[in-house]
Amino acid sequence: MFSIRKLSLLIALTGVSTLSAVQAETSLELDELVVTGTRSETSLLDLAGNTGKINEAEIDLVRADHIEEIINRVSGVMIQRGNGQEHLTAIRSPVLTGGAGAGSFLFLQDGIPLRAAGFANVNGLFEASSEQAGSIEVIRGPGSALYGSNAVHGLVNVITRAPSLELERSIDVSAGPHDLYRFKGTVSNTEGAHGYRLSINTTTDGGYIDDSGFDQQKLNFRHDYSGDVDSVTTIFTATNLNQETAGYTEGLDAYRDTGQTKATNTNPEAYRDAKSARLSVRWDHELTDNSYFTITPYVRHTELDFLMHFLPGTPVEQNEHKSVGLLSSYTNEFGEGHKIIVGTDLEYTRGKLSEFQQGPTVFGRFVQGEHYNYEIDATVVAPYIHSEWQLAEKTRMTVGARFEHTRYEYDNKTTGGTVVAGGTVVGAFQRPNDRSDTFNNFSPKLGFVYELADDTSIFTNLARGNRAPQTTDLYRIRNTQNGVEADSEKVDSIELGIRKVGSGIQYEMTTYFMKKKDHFFRDSTGENIPNGKTQHYGIELSAFIPFAEQFDIAGNFTYARHRYDFDNVGTDPNGSNSIRDGDDIDSAPRHIGNLRLGWNVRPQSRLELEWLHVGRYYTDSGNVHSYDGHDLLNLRAQHKVNNQLTLHGKISNLLNTDYAERADYNYVNTFNNTDRYFVGEQGAVHVGMTYDF
């Protein structure tokens, strides 16, 4: 484990050895303005709720090869990397999988959901252009009334980088171990009322485990028009991923056997091919000096083809969906701090999914052949109201409500009922007959902000988050559910916080309590558990502290408990999948942290040493098996040689620590149960350069 003595020595050594080689132009202070909370630029001091923001300078310094490297710098957030670009998310929650993992978090780019509400993807953030974003904002806990399904435990909004005021052209190339190469390019300018930015990003990675790796390409184009009373922002994004996926490494503490884990791929045939494209046009029209309306039509297309290496039988899933949507709102600022927003979100989606197992039947339940094949038409209608009232000189109230109507039209393309083989019911799968399902959800919000000083405020926020079930929860079900199906999931939340922005020391500290019901999830046997109840509470701290002119310390710390609030008897005689009221939920460390020491060596130079901490957590719902957690050190440097050339580099896992990106325990039957790990990469050096011309 990590020691303070090692940290002190390492800071001294790296400072001396890199003094002449590092330089950067960064400002990593907490921003005072955010967008996501109200869908328009708002002061953090006025928000009745939390918002974590990663700004453009921080994104350019980190140069993340995976989304976890940048977003885990926000308190209350832990993304666990799978293989390649895969990931699982925790935001004020345990790390969630399956439909719960896909549906509990809302992933956006410029306020547009990356996927339709009932068709989410646990790996959804690899479809965002985060590598060249202008900022990334995270709301922890239920989203406001402005956002609907999936904003249950939190939401992430990746905001496209705006056009530059003058001509900007740059290319960035970098290289790392295992044949990792990345190229990024951007061109941008503004002439008169028109501005544009075109960004491309391509990565190839040979993988640090044999028979793995990926190729990924992303394109992002933005055009801004700014007139006297009208402004129009057009954004087009396309992504492509072709990945050879390494599966789990199996066996207790197998991640510690570095030589074996590097050379072992338990599923060398596994792959993931994904494509996505989105087009949105936001039109803001000023009606008066105090009022305006906003209309944002958009279209979306996603498709995904992958081998499900984490399931017995390793079936292949193919899914896709196409959506057309419209976000509309009217805003009136009455003066004296009063404001109201009314709007409606509309979306229509047509999607389909198939699952087919090529190999032989496994464990008598995972049957060879077709498991599922269906199509779905989904409609979402969601009117909302958001209002802000200045109750007194230093007291502000926010009240909001959202009603969301979701309807699924399900069309089964294969035989209904339980999967059979040779006339005998042996399958683990049930296929419902054609039907329609409707869900109506109401999400209220009430918040208060009190200004303690010009740069400090306290806030409290009461909110409900909910979501209609994922389509996979309803129509890709297991025969052990005994006819009990998923319902709309609900979370009721209360939080209290204090924040300080501006110059000098900046911080935000928040404590929260949440209760969730109708939680539909998959246990360590892979079976679906309906009607679960859970409790979540904790404290989150983020801070930025400058000192001695050239130095700063920034970081976050989270202490949280995520517990079951019900009982459920499992099938494992050793109790690995039995649930007891009050036990910890699996994949839920009680403490996580991120601490960064920054040194601006010269006026346009930066060196950063980062400490990452993940505490111990249980890997099964019965709290029988666990992972010890880990501590990692990363070092980043940036040196601006001249106005055109910038050199950058990083050393990840500086102490070459053996660790697991993700650990879990899988129980199929008494003869097939094991600890599983996505093995973390050993120490690696990455170097690159940016050229502006």
Residue 458's domain is classified under what CATH number?
Answer: 2.40.170.20
pLDDT on residue 192: 96
Q: In the structure, what pLDDT confidence band is assigned to residue 462 with cuts at 50, 70 and 90? A: very high
Residue 86 has pLDDT above 70, yes or no: yes
Which amino acid belongs to residue 466?
Answer: N
Backbone phi, psi, residue 13, to 5°? -65, -45
pLDDT on residue 387: 95
Residue 26 has pLDDT above 50, yes or no: no
Distance between CA atoms of residues 415 and 412, nearest Å: 8
Residue 235 has pLDDT above 50, yes or no: yes
pLDDT on residue 262: 58
Task: Find the range with the poorest average confidence among 92-101, 305-314, 529-538, 547-556.
Answer: 305-314
b (16+ CB within 10 A) / e for 163-178: bbeeeeebebebebee
Higher pLDDT, 306 or 424: 306
Distance between CA atoms of residues 109 and 346, nearest Å: 17
> What residue ranges in 26-119 does DSSP mark as E strands?
33-34, 42-43, 52-54, 77-81, 87-91, 105-109, 112-113
User: Coil, strand or helix: which one is 471?
Assistant: helix
- Copy the structure tokens of residue 634: 């990363």
Distance between CA atoms of residues 92 and 493, nearest Å: 11
Q: Which domain covers residue 443, as residue numbers?
A: 4-161+170-301+308-692
Which residues, other chains included, contact 249 with Cβ-Cβ below 8 Å and sequence gap of 6+?
Answer: 255, 260, 261, 264, 266, 676, 677, 678, 679
Q: Which of 265, 275, 281 is nearest to 225 (CA)?
A: 281
Residue 309 has pLDDT above 70, yes or no: yes
User: Coil, strand or helix: which one is 109?
Assistant: strand
Distance between CA atoms of residues 133 and 275, nearest Å: 19
Contact 558, 537 (CB under 8 A): no
Report the domain count for the chain: 1
Contact 558, 594 (CB under 8 A): no
Higher pLDDT, 34 or 166: 166
Is beta strand 249-250 parallel, antiparallel or unpaired with respect to 230-244? unpaired
The pLDDT tens digits of the residues spanning 572-625 come to: 888 888 899 999 999 999 999 999 999 999 888 899 999 999 999 999 999 999
Distance between CA atoms of residues 238 and 129, nearest Å: 9
The pLDDT tens digits of the residues spanning 628-659 come to: 999 999 999 999 999 999 999 999 999 999 99
pLDDT on residue 510: 97
Distance between CA atoms of residues 308 and 245, nearest Å: 10
**Mean pLDDT confidence for 444-453:** 96
Contact 451, 45 (CB under 8 A): yes
- Copy the structure tokens of residue 639: 């040196």
Contact 125, 239 (CB under 8 A): no
Q: In the structure, what pLDDT confidence band is assigned to residue 268 with cuts at 50, 70 and 90? A: confident
Contact 513, 562 (CB under 8 A): no
Residue 31 has pLDDT above 80, yes or no: no
Distance between CA atoms of residues 633 and 656, nearest Å: 9
b (16+ CB within 10 A) / e for 265-299: bebbebbbebbbbbbbebbbeeeeeeebbbebebe
Which amino acid belongs to residue 443?
Answer: S
In angstroms, the first-to-last Cα distance of the chain is 46
pLDDT on residue 3: 41
Q: Which residue's entry shows tokens 């509990």? A: 104
State CA 186 to chain mean position distance.
Answer: 25
Q: Is 128 exposed, middle or buried (0-12, 13-18, 19+ CB in 10 A)?
A: buried
